[in-house]
Amino acid sequence: MKAGDQLFRNPMTEQPDSIAQHYHQRTKYNPKTIHDKSKPLDWTQQPIPFKEYKIGALFDLKPFFNTAPSKFANDLEGQWWQRLSTLLWCTYGITNVDRGMGDALYLRSAPSAGGLYPAEVYLISRGTPLLPAGLFNYQPRTHSLIHFWENDVWNKLQVSCFWHPVLENTQLAVIVTAVFFRSAWRYQDRGYRRIHLDIGHILGNLELAAAMTDFRPHLIGSFMDEAVNQLLYLEPSQEGAIAVLPIADRLQVRQNLPLAKTVIPAHRKTDYGSIPDGQLLTAFHQATQIDYNPNAKVNWKLSATDRQRVDKYNFPFCTKISTEAESIPWGPNLEQLEATIRKRRSTRAYTGESLEFALLKSLLDFAYQPQRYVNQGLDANPDYCDLSLVETFIVVLSVDGLEEGCYYYAPAAQELRQIRFKNFRHELHFLCLGQDLGRDAAVVLFHTADLRAAVDTYGDRVYRYLHMDAGHLGQRLNLAASRLGIGVSGIGGFFDDQVNEVLGIPTDEAVLYITTFGQPYRPAPGR
């Protein structure tokens, strides 16, 4: 057994860690070992971020995209196709092509670590007058759907999702999958974290794009993995289903459905034995799957306490600052939201200059207070796996009117609670693996979770949920920042344990994701 392969134990209970805790521990970056574990990229094996099908009927969505709604004013079929076209493009479509010095890089509406885009988006139709029954893959390069399986599979989908009630009345479903090697090629075993953050970005886009197009996605994070993979004809060692999202049409009365649970408890695995480096990602994914059991009975009904957020930390004698803010205006018919999705880019460098506190408050308002945007046509209760498990800490480096230091963000109270007084610019440069983004940002936001408590609640599969929810929140932050003219970039690589130690974040909190904000650096023309 390798040194990194031992069963980690809770010193208080001697209980062995589950495979989720083991995976998290094994994939931490540590300043003493990071260089020894890093491997050079094999460019001969660089993955292609697109899936191709040799056969299938093509449904071209381009004629319905970026077209004035007036063109389809008297065409109900055209209106429906325009809605679907916009939904898919805003979720995962090509927004720009960077030809650079080598192969063209197709940039998409959702950000992806390293530009690797490990996710695939599928559409399942129950069979409608406009979209025949069967399986479709969304093709971003051509903005089209390829119909690669023509038979009705809706009943199989219902069985695979434990008869989730939303599937009774909906006609369409999106399934987001992960092609593991696309991320593992660069990030090795830690790629599993990045995959789910990336898929969280997609879920954030899908939620907001649906509001723009009169759809409503209902997230299902708990399903029988093998059954869904077989339904899509996936090779499970290479690609696996991560999220199922029935898409309700809000223009159809019978599809305006009540909210339901999105995830259910699953197993906790402690007998995982020795797993070699390079095989941990696939082994962990396999271990977090839900076994096939068509006779299982699941209660999807929400309880009175579900979806309630409670501010976890209330530090004694800490400074508390209100974050109540003016809502970000998204324009008539959310037209500015689509424009923001179109122009969003990850910032590559910051100036180090300060931000206005009002801008930071607006960022937090949009990401964490969705109920305040109902009057603009957005969803008051968008689906997450379980947002109560995710906490937010904010390091202020340079914000006008706000003291430097580390804060806990309390979304229920809408306030910042200060933990430490200090400028952490030098430390953040180190914690973010020497990335200048961490040093030159004005604000650095951390999403965390108590992993042990989360595993106790949902089993090892919760690792997927935590990172998807962090990515979902991250995408709302991305779009809010872009709308406000603030630079923004996510960071998935950091020295895990040192973050807690340096910033004063409680040691129980495992860091999931980092998002940086600041004044974007723009080179002078001609440089």
pLDDT classification of 7: cutoffs 50, 70, 90: very low
* Domain-located, residue 180: yes
- CA dihedral sign, ordered 223, 228, 230, 231: positive
Retrieve residue 179's tokens. 């092609």
Whether residue 369 sits in one domain with residue 263: no
Whether residue 335 sits in one domain with residue 423: yes
* Domain-located, residue 8: no
Q: How many residues does the chain have?
A: 527
Whether residue 283 sits in one domain with residue 340: no
Q: Would you state the pLDDT for residue 112?
A: 97
Q: Would you state the pLDDT for residue 527?
A: 52
Residues 251-306: tens digit of each pLDDT: 999 999 999 999 999 999 999 999 999 999 999 999 999 999 999 999 999 998 88
* Domain-located, residue 311: no
What pTM does this model have? 0.96
Of the residues 238, 263, 287, the one at which a domain ends = 287
Whether residue 324 sits in one domain with residue 283: no
* Domain-located, residue 98: no
Whether residue 245 sits in one domain with residue 372: no
Whether residue 329 sits in one domain with residue 226: no
Reported as type and span, the H/E element at residue 97 is strand 94-98
Euclidean distance between CA atoms 89 and 113, whole angstroms = 19
Retrieve residue 109's tokens. 């509406």
Give the three-class secondary structure for 462. Answer: helix
Residue 206 is classified by DSSP as: H
**For position 230, which CATH number holds?**
3.40.109.10
* Domain-located, residue 313: no
Residues 379-434: tens digit of each pLDDT: 999 999 999 999 999 999 999 999 999 999 999 999 999 999 999 999 999 999 99
* Domain-located, residue 526: no
* Domain-located, residue 417: yes
Of the residues 262, 287, 312, the one at which a domain ends = 287
Euclidean distance between CA atoms 204 and 152, whole angstroms = 29
- Report whether pLDDT(148) > 60: yes
Of the residues 244, 267, 287, the one at which a domain ends = 287
Whether residue 204 sits in one domain with residue 324: no
| Residue 73 CB partners (closer than 8 Å, separation 6+) | none
Whether residue 383 sits in one domain with residue 254: no
Euclidean distance between CA atoms 247 and 328, whole angstroms = 26
Euclidean distance between CA atoms 278 and 108, whole angstroms = 28
Q: Would you state the pLDDT for residue 496?
A: 97
Number of domains in the chain: 2
Whether residue 136 sits in one domain with residue 253: yes
Whether residue 326 sits in one domain with residue 281: no
Whether residue 212 sits in one domain with residue 161: yes
Q: Would you state the pLDDT for residue 13?
A: 52
Domain that holds residue 473: 320-518
Mean pLDDT (whole number) for 477-486: 98
In angstroms, what is the C-alpha Rg of the chain?
22
Whether residue 275 sits in one domain with residue 188: yes
* Domain-located, residue 307: no
Query: What value does the mean pLDDT of the chain take?
Result: 94
Is residue 21 within 8 A of residue 10, CB to CB? The reply is no
